[in-house]
Chain A
Amino acid sequence: MRYLPKSPAEREQMLKAIGAKSIEDLFAIIPAAYRLNRDLDIPRQLGESEIVDYFKAAGQKNATDYASFLGAGAYRHYRPVVIDALVQRGEFLTSYTPYQAEITQGTLQAIFEFQTMIAELTGMDVANASMYDGSTGAAEAVLMAMRVTGRHRAVVARTVHPEYREVLATYLQHRDLATSEIGYEAETGRVDVQALEEAVTDETAAVLVQSPNFFGVVEDIPAIAEIAHKKGALLIVSIAEAVSLGVVRPPVEADIVSMEAQSFGVALSYGGPFCGVIAAKENFVRQLPGRLVGETKDQDGNRGFVLTLSTREQHIRREKATSNICTNQALVALMATIFLTVYGKEGMRELAEHNLAKAAYAAQELSSVAGAKLLFRGAPRFHEFVLQTQESPALWSQRLLDEKIVGGVELSRWYPELKNATLWCATEVMRRETIDAAAKVLAAGLVEA
């Protein structure tokens, strides 16, 4: 076996040193009744070339030559090649959680840089070292707000990613925490502010909204914050499309921001691994879940970094910890850090503006097809938009597939009231000719219908 660095003679030599007759002696403590005395029924050992062939075939079966308008919480952006060149360095890739600070300063400093960049982008004071993803981050943020306020109710916008809301429900099901959902305004797709005002009470721990929301619409964060804060509730803003922060005003009025940073140079990988992160105002730092890196000095006065405030965490506090999270998404956070360094201050704005332009063009072209209309026109959007068609999406999406284009996601699976409505996304990698081709395909069917 090519990963095992021992010759048969060395194994014998070691057994002898231990005083064992055979390797089975070392497993003697396992009762014979349930020892496995056969080979596992799994595929035989493959050579490296066979492994590569197997996965390449699977990749091809997946189809690679389709253009796609899919977004909805997972976004395709260009990934600068230096990201993979750097994260594949064994010193990053094959290192453990940096508990031994003296020999993990590389990881620690990179995480400190990540925390700083996320704080800068979101307008928060501090950020943690990462969470599993945007969905679990949002759920943990709500639990955090509950600890901070000592209150037991949460108000959640229906425009938060439906799968995030499902995860939240799973996380809360055995906690003493009730949630209520509030709808959106038909004209704008924004949170129904009046309903929010009625729903938030003196018992509300948190208001959870997403911006840009699931429809791609940017919420009026200052107005929502005012409603939450008036009753002493915390405002949590979930951000599923991190690139939006290049051009969209950061939610500075929020108390906690839970962000999915997948857009920062992380491959789609069929939904994971992604990179959640929680950022917050300074005074809530001791209720943050997950790891934090802090700056300090060594005995000789050199600057150095350590994992800190670990009395919040499970390995110290056990059942009283702020979360049970241990392993996070460190390497993915490093990808994000490199991505943000590549684009930098000017590049993030330029990149975000390209996204804005592509989506504006796509929205205009697709909605100008007869029988199609753009929903939620009355509010600013980033790079996603909702299109409603007279024709059933099942029909035109098949015609698009025939042209090797994957159209928008159908919304009725989460929003039954939005019939024939689909959510489209156009990032900077979307080509004009794809948009034009999609418009043509849509038009073809609608004329016939």
Chain B
Amino acid sequence: MISTAFEYARAATVDEAVALLGRDEDAKLLAGGHSLIPALRLRFSRPSLLVDIGRLDDLRFVREDGDRLAIGALTRHAELVRDPLLTQHCAVIAEAAALIGDPQVRHRGTIGGSVAHGDPASDLGTILLTLDAELVARGPGGERTIPAAEFFTGPFDTALEHQEMLTEIRVPKATGTYLKHVRRAHDWATVGVAAARVDGRMHVGLTSMGPTPLRARSVEAALADGASPADAAAHAADDTVPPTDSSASGEYRAHLARVLVRRALERL
């Protein structure tokens, strides 16, 4: 289908992008475009202005910073897959990125774009939540760091203010795994489960089990109390509202969450 009409401006710097967003309350950022352009084509999104940040190449990086890694918000999924630092120190991100969409999508989609879209079906959103990542945003007032636990506020809604953009994501070095159940290879997760050991504790995150990516707190508490993976996994669907849609019912999703949490924990 054909999008509604909009204005277009290209930002040469982050500050310029922030300023352009301030121009219009219906302005949106365009990074890889693989969350936004599908929404435009179906007319689900009708921005007045697109601010293209796709050329901000200094936001494409993966750097080591002590016991953490810093990932530029415009790093593409395909780059995450191949990155040697990620593969060595936080492989769960590289593994999850390899499961997003298909090769063509991965050549364009960015981690920042994917996460800022606030999709409860976002694999990377769940991973970052599970890792207790920090998301760095720049706005007219300067820079701030948003903990992942505060970032996802609702379906397609994040803590980012209208005039803020993500610049960097900081993750701990951690061992982890991501299991993604799909109907077809390139589908969104019916259910996704991330498990990672962070600061000696096991964190578990869930994709497509509610209005945002979720932490499976009951599972984590059970593990902290010494429960086995199987016993802890029985709590996987606690406090979740898994949706019923054309892919699956909420009931089946809850069941999948329990199975996949157990398998993820057993794998680690």
Partners in one complex: no
Interface residues of A (CB under 8 A from B): none
Give the A-binding residues of B (Cβ under 8 A). Answer: none
